[in-house]
Structure 1
Amino acid sequence: MVLFITLGLGKLLDNVAKSNRRAREAELLYVGNLYRDAIRQYSESTPAGTRPYPDKLDDLLRDPRYPVIRRYLRQLYRDPITRQAFETIQAPAGGVIGVRSASPQNPIKITGFNNDQTGFSTARSYQQWEFIYVPNIMAPPNK
């Protein structure tokens, strides 16, 4: 009897832990997309002759290129998986093009990603979930 209770309790705790991890994973996807969208907005509002990416994530809180306050994020969010700051991904020409988790854990979610999350379904760790903004320079002109 005690064995069955112990096994049941162990299974319950495992389910709770997995549920919490799924919630943190969903939050990672949400917050990562917030960063990608903020970098996109920063890039799309770039004045001619300046680098299209922020030098650091703090530039998304207040764009230093303008005399008036421009914000693309309300705050710098922490990585929900590690509960630490996100790792930044640098553009070859300089500036931050995205963020990623520092967690080497395997993701639970492997399907159902949106178009901006290509490669997420084959990722072997959260580190491979890279939330990057790259402008589509090959887009056809508007008619």
Structure 2
Amino acid sequence: MPRRTASWLLAKRSILVSLHAGGERGITYLFLMFAIVLIGIVTTMGAQQWKMMMQRELEADLLTKGIEIQNALALYSTAMKAGRVIQGEVYPQSLMDLTRLPKPYLRKVYLDPLTRGTWDYIRSPSGGIMGVRTRRKGEPMKKHEFPLAVRHFDGMKSYRDWIFQHPNPSTVSLFPSTAPPGPGGSPQQSAPSPGVPEPFTTPSDDTAPEDSTFSPILPATQ
């Protein structure tokens, strides 16, 4: 009997030790699975936040470069029509024409920020470039609170609708076609818009007259 009792006690002790060890392993396994799931959730959320941040930066870059091209087109057309009787607008055949000396209107030929390639050009009936837009399709994150030069983008649901051109609905409202008469009855010169920069000039430019200035950009009536 004592031997049987001792054997039974040893077997019972072994079973209890095994159950205790198995319980610890089970708890460790559950904790490990919970940690893996938690890490996956945090990683996914971080990736989504990073993607949203990058998309906002690309959209801001697209707006900056697009508006600069739009302003350059406006300045180019105004300069080409100066002193001439021309109906409508005058547009360049390429963006490179906007960068040529002695009076470049654009710092450089920018690439499409969203595709890192060429823009989709909006051509006028004469074949000149009257505007640009990205080739990328998709819904923008930004839908409201646009700069004045492109405030008509408000509510648009596709990048393809962001067309940077001259003239456009926003610039037409910024530059009225007629100016009120001055004190002497002559038309009063409108003040230039803060959204349209002056063209870049070089010290060696001696072809333009000393008092040459660009008049406000007025959309012509076809």
- Whether the TM-score (by the shorter chain) exceeds 0.5 is yes
Distance in 2 of aligned mates of 1:15 and 1:138: 43
Indicate whether 1:25 and 2:59 are aligned: yes
Aligned to 1:3: 37
Answer with 1 or 2: which has the greater Rg.
2
The superposition leaves residues 42-67 of structure 1 with CA deviations (integer Å, 9 ceiling, x where unpaired) of 011014267611111111111xxxxx
The match for 2:139 among 82, 103, 106 is 106
Indicate whether 1:132 and 2:170 are aligned: no
Is contact 2:143-2:157 (8 Å) kept? no
Distance in 1 of aligned mates of 2:144 and 2:108: 29
Is contact 1:103-1:125 (8 Å) kept? no
Helix, strand or coil at the partner of 1:105: coil
Task: List alignment gaps of at least 5 residues for structure 1.
Answer: 63-67
Distance in 1 of aligned mates of 2:147 and 2:68: 14
Moved over 3 A (4+): 135-138
Q: Which has the higher helix share?
A: 2
Distance in 1 of aligned mates of 2:106 and 2:177: 27
The match for 2:120 among 60, 80, 87 is 87
Is contact 2:67-2:150 (8 Å) kept? no
Task: List alignment gaps of at least 5 residues for structure 2.
Answer: 1-34, 180-186, 189-222
| CA deviation after TM superposition for structure 1 residue 124, in Å | 2.3
Indicate whether 1:38 and 2:72 are aligned: yes
Aligned to 2:99: 61
TM-score, normalising length: structure 2 = 0.57
1:41 maps to a residue whose letter is L
Distance in 2 of aligned mates of 1:139 and 1:24: 34
Identity %, equivalent residues: 28
